[in-house]
Amino acid sequence: MKTKAAVSYVEGEPLVIEELILDEPKSGEVCVKMAAVGLCHSDYHALVGNRPVGMRPMIMGHEGAGVVTKLGHGVNGIKVGDHVSLMFIPACGKCKWCLEGNPHACVLGPTIAKGPQPDGTYRFHTDNGLDVGQFCLLGAFSEYTVVNQHSVSVIDKEVPLEVACLVGCGVVGGVGAAINRAKVKPGSSVLVIGTGGLGTNIIQGAQLSNASTIIAADIHDHKLEWSRSFGATHTINVNQGNLVERVLEITGGTGVDTAFEAISNPETIGMAFDATAKLGKVVVVGLTPSHFDSLPISPLNLVLTQKTLMGSIYGTSNALIEIPKLLYLYKQGKIKLDELVTRTYSLEEVNQGYTDLIEGKNIRGVVKF
């Protein structure tokens, strides 16, 4: 079949909107008619070369939701007409990490930026026969896509797909980082550096955990104002003062119990460490560009202050469980999703969407089909 998609041909250049040929789903695969896709920094990193990908051309987009239209042989637990959220790290269910209950660390994780499906073959092709890869095994910026059944989670049909797409990455990643990875305690203090799609959901996770002090830090006043509506109790514009000094002032000189870095920058990771109290936790959530290979953190201070430095990907969550759970919380009014979407775009406007993302204009922009 034919499908229109947003394709990356050359590192650093805009996405190209063109018509491609899409194969039928193979055994264990499903075809999904896409409804909405969130604009996430992870795609941008791949587009500009901050995170190397295995091949080009490649269809970008990984934070998506849609409706299943076709099934390959041997698909279990999914039927035509189901509404699904795409999962950017599939859960094979067989590797050491999946069997231990940690599918966010699935052995398939390192394959997601290479281009082909796990069997090494491609589902998208140009008219002249060139294979086209799928970022995160998904290629969500396409009217239709074919993915492995392990890359989808069936969701409640009552949830609008425009907001359901967000739980495929940013919401699980942010809320899960606070609840599952950091295990934020009731009454504790939290710092979140970077209040975009990921950071805003860390704030929501901290609020769900009943943190008493939630400090949001960013360089955009409008984003800081938005963060208060999601649960931030204090805000700091990093361009208007010393971040660490302000955090110490707010916390009575001790620093926060947990600091989250959602910007992807070694400098701000160092700030997060310095703003954390003794015995506190520093959680790095943003994907730092691959050319950085060190952090401005004193090994001596790491020992003397007994702080814990950790990473978190996909919210350290089992997305198959977390996605339906978060959508249930949304229906109960306990987390906000509609408010995360600050602008929608057509597929043809996807490059403008990324420009707005980098300029800090959105919490989350969403491409609607």
Q: Is 45 a catalytic residue?
A: yes
Q: Which residues contact 58 (CB under 8 A, 6 or more apart)?
A: 7, 8, 46, 115, 132, 133, 134, 135, 139
Q: How far apart are CA 90 and CA 107, in angstroms?
A: 9
3-state secondary structure 262-274: CCCCHHHHHHHHH
Task: Using alpha carbons, select from 346, 345, 347 the residue that is nearest to residue 5.
Answer: 347
Query: Helices 221-229 and 197-208 sit at what angle, rounded to 10 degrees?
Result: 30
Relative to beta strand 83-86, strand 152-155 is antiparallel
The answer to whether 256 and 187 are in contact (CB under 8 A) is no
Q: Is 95 a catalytic residue?
A: no
114 burial type by CB count under 10 A (0-12 exposed, 13-18 middle, 19+ buried) = middle
Choose the catalytic residue: 31, 98, 165, 169: 169
Residue 210: DSSP 8-state:
T
Q: Is 169 a catalytic residue?
A: yes
Which amino acid makes up residue 162?
E
Q: How far apart are CA 98 and CA 116, in angstroms?
A: 21
255 burial type by CB count under 10 A (0-12 exposed, 13-18 middle, 19+ buried) = buried
With residue 218 as reference, give the H or E element that holds it: strand 213-218
Choose the catalytic residue: 40, 98, 106, 136: 40
Choose the catalytic residue: 8, 41, 45, 151: 45
Q: Is 106 a catalytic residue?
A: no
Choose the catalytic residue: 8, 31, 41, 62: 62
Choose the catalytic residue: 8, 31, 42, 136: 42
The answer to whether 215 and 366 are in contact (CB under 8 A) is no
The answer to whether 51 and 287 are in contact (CB under 8 A) is yes
Q: Which residues are catalytic?
A: 40, 42, 45, 62, 169
